[in-house]
Amino acid sequence: MRLPWLAALAVLLAQGTAAQEEAPAHPDRSETARLVWSTLIAVDHANRTGNYAVLRDLGAPDFRNVNNPARLAGIFASIRERDLGLERVVLANPVYAAPPALTETGLFEVKGSFPARPEGISFELYFQHVEGAWKLYALGIFAQEAEAETAEQ
């Protein structure tokens, strides 16, 4: 039986349709993993230091326009208080819920998890190709309860 996810962060979606460069083909497998790891580590560093300015500045212009450091601190408060342990993501490869792909609007959508016991980490990340690179556009991070072990013998 799978326990429901505990939402630790609402997906941050910028208002309106994003004007963006023509996106190239989506990143390959290793670049996708790097985007996931670097984003979650940036959130971890922001939570540890209380400084969300760098996380904000790493984002796409639309992300920066709708999120100031104080707003990000409020959004990430539950993850910070829960001490979800985002730093451990560098020890494993992400497990994707579906193959990462471009959305109809040209955003690069990456959904997946880092399963662990007693609690894993699930994520929804969206990147926009702007300024010559894939930059964070929106994200959601969730605690993922480990599946209950069944002891049928």
- Residues 59, 19, 96, 115, Cα dihedral to 10°: 30
Residue 80 lies in a domain: yes
pLDDT score for 83: 82
pLDDT score for 79: 86
pLDDT score for 28: 95
* Domain hosting residue 78, numbered range: 27-145
Residue 134 lies in a domain: yes
pLDDT score for 97: 97
Q: Give the Å distances, CA to CA, from 147 to 88, 90, 151.
A: 19, 22, 12
Residue 16 lies in a domain: no
The residue ranges of DSSP E strands in 39-99, in sequence order, are: 95-96
Write down the pTM of the prediction.
0.80
Domains: count for the chain: 1
Residue 63 identity = F
- Euclidean distance between CA atoms 69 and 51, whole angstroms: 7
- Euclidean distance between CA atoms 43 and 142, whole angstroms: 13
Q: What is the mean pLDDT of each run of 10 residues along the chain (153 residues)?
A: 32 43 80 96 94 97 97 92 80 93 96 87 96 96 66 38
- Euclidean distance between CA atoms 144 and 146, whole angstroms: 6
Residue 7 lies in a domain: no
